Amino acid sequence: MDASRHPDYLLTYDAAEVQRLQLQHNMIIRAFGGHLIVASIELSPGMNVLDSAAGTGVWTLQAAAQHPNAKFSGIDIESRDFPISPPSNARFLVEDITALPEEWFDTFDLVHQRLLIAALRAEEWPQAIAEAHRALRLGGWAQFVECSTLWLRGPIARCFLEIYRALYNSRNMLLTCAEDIPQMLEDAGFRNVRSERVYIEMAGTTPEATAARTTIVGVYRQFKDAIMQAGGFGLVESGEEYDALMSELEKEIKTGIDGTYPLE
């Protein structure tokens, strides 16, 4: 197994992944109208914010800069991508989002978590959501962002979706997490649960669409090793065949078929 890959994570940890995460962050914020925080909360001085599975910490750093009087904690199971010199109102810690420290009960006013579809197993989703609920103060808010697979409708996309489903089923991962999160939130005790869908434009030749298309298909390209290690699930016979499928998927998206990528 590649030393740069966590055993339970389908994506690599390397310089290219750090760059992809930055591009991904920019796309997401643009899709949400430039807003880092879309939950119905105004951060007052002294409020505590948890960025769950913070990765490179880009969201934490930008939110901390916008709200210098609030306090931010970014956590992840790996520290290698953490910022070296965070601002005074931000800290980064190695923690497991499915088992937060006991002393964090009733601590945070906002919990932010996004795009863990390629990281959490099915049974870990309710655990992570329950932990977020436990860590929130009464009246606090949680903000979850995940991608939906409902956009995969074109002929090439449907072929890929079969492989995608087989991979996730083999690892007991939740491909429908975007659709399932609202119910899991309610089951964990959250109230006032609401869902908003936004779209990232991937069709056409604009710089933004090209970057989005390349970035998103680039995520799927990273699944190749895991798929081939599993024997291709009877759906793809070689890494070269999978690479060709990804190139065809990118072309299909560019033409406008499946040209928008939904986030919830």
CATH code of the domain in which 92 resides = 3.40.50.150
258, burial (CB in 10 Å: exposed 0-12, middle 13-18, buried 19+):
buried
What gap in Å lies between CA 38 and CA 88, rounded to an integer? 24
First to last CA, the chain: 32
> What is the tens place of the pLDDT at every residue in 65-103?
999 999 999 999 989 889 999 999 999 999 999 999 999
More confidently predicted of 133 and 258 = 133
CB 152 within 8 A of CB 258: yes
The model's pTM is 0.92
Domain that holds residue 67: 15-263
Task: Give the β-pairing of 108-114 and 136-145.
Answer: parallel
Do 222 and 239 meet the contact criterion of CB atoms below 8 Å apart?
Answer: no
Categorise residue 33: left if φ over 0, alpha if ψ from -120 to 50, beta otherwise: left
Mean pLDDT of the chain: 92
Percent of the chain with pLDDT over 70: 95
Q: Which residues have a Cβ under 8 Å from the Cβ of 243 and sit 6 or more positions away? A: 221, 224
Residue 3's pLDDT is what?
30
Q: Is residue 8 part of a domain?
A: no
Is position 234 within any domain? yes
Contacts of 166 (CB under 8 A, 6+ apart): 230, 233, 235
> How are beta strands 90-94 and 71-76 bridged, if at all?
parallel
pLDDT given at position 260:
87
Amino acid in the structure at residue 170 = S
pLDDT band at residue 5 under the 50/70/90 scheme: very low
Q: For residue 63, is pLDDT > 90? A: yes
- 255 domain-assigned: yes
For position 81, what pLDDT does the model report? 87
Number of domains in the chain: 1
Q: Of 125-129, 136-140, 149-153, 255-259, which range is least confident?
A: 149-153
Cβ atoms of 179 and 148 closer than 8 Å: yes
Taking residues 188-197, what's their average pLDDT? 95
Q: How many CB atoms lie within 10 A of CB 197?
A: 11
Confidence (pLDDT) at 1? 25
Cα separation, 239 vs 236, in Å, equals 8
